[in-house]
Amino acid sequence: MNRPAVFFDRDGVLNEDIGYLYERTKFRWTPGAREAVKAVNDVGYLAFVVTNQSGVARGLYKEADVRDLHAWMAEELAKIGAHIDAFEYCPHHPEATIEPYRRSCTCRKPGPGMITNLMKRFQVDPVRSFLIGDKLSDVEAAAGAGIRGYLFEGSDLQQFIKNRLSRAE
């Protein structure tokens, strides 16, 4: 049975976008972010994070740093009974300084690759699923994957998600 899902962009949606974030000491949740994830969990939707992480390609941090930050985020969410079903990130960039990461790929938003990979792995219902991002490239990635995309402009993510969930049901 296919389940609906919410795909969250990370920087600018779940946390304040400070540019090339990989340190938990600099991480700040956006207002209502943890509660938004819990609201998604509570209605039975899958919750995913899809995030471009070109800082890896630029040599600013390593993939292990991204995974460590995501593990910490999961721990913080668990404190309020919330969870992310999967974190996906794209470490590539066509102008990378680190050669193995220098490429154009379909996983880097606006490409839909991260979303479509998760949809296949988890048997996601595209009709009831959507993405929340803070950039046009996020919405383009959602459209490329055949789901709705919404721009979040930084107020209260919990209220934003509750409004979208009520429309999706």
User: Which CATH number do you get for residue 69?
Assistant: 3.40.50.1000
User: Which amino acids are annotated catalytic?
Assistant: 9, 11
Residue 135 domain-assigned (yes or no) = yes
Range(s) of the domain holding residue 86 = 17-153
What residue type is assigned to position 142 of the chain? A
Residue 54 lies in a domain: yes
- Is 169's pLDDT higher than 70? no
CA dist., res. 151 & res. 39, Å (int): 18
Structure confidence at residue 103 as a pLDDT band (50, 70, 90) = very high
Q: Which residues contact 22 (CB under 8 A, 6 or more apart)?
A: 55, 60, 61, 65, 66, 68, 69
- Report, as an integer, the average pLDDT of 105-134: 97
Q: What is the pTM of this model?
A: 0.96
Rounded to 10 degrees, what is the CA torsion of 130, 132, 136, 139?
Answer: -10
HEC profile of the chain: CCECEEEECCECCCECCCCCCCCHHHCCECCCHHHHHHHHHHCCCEEEEEEECHHHHCCCCCHHHHHHHHHHHHHHHHCCCCCCCEEEEECCECCCCCHHHECCCCCCCCCCHHHHHHHHHHCECCCCCEEEECCHHHHHHHHHHCCEEEECCCCCHHHHHHHHHHHHC
Of the pLDDT bands very low, low, confident and very high (cuts 50, 70, 90), residue 51 is very high
* Dihedral pair phi/psi, residue 22, rounded to 5°: -145, -5
Confidence of residue 168 (pLDDT cuts 50, 70, 90): low
pLDDT at 110 over 90: yes
- The answer to the question of residue 11 being in a domain is no
- Kindly report the average pLDDT of the chain as a whole number: 96
Q: Indicate the number of domains in the chain.
A: 1
The per-residue pLDDT for 166 is: 80
Nearest to 149 by CA among 7, 46, 2, 3: 7
- Over residues 1-6, the mean pLDDT reads 92
Query: pLDDT digit string (tens) for 145-166?
Result: 999 999 998 789 999 999 998 8
Is 9 within a domain? no
What tokens were used for 53? 């992480």
Identify whether 106 is part of a domain: yes
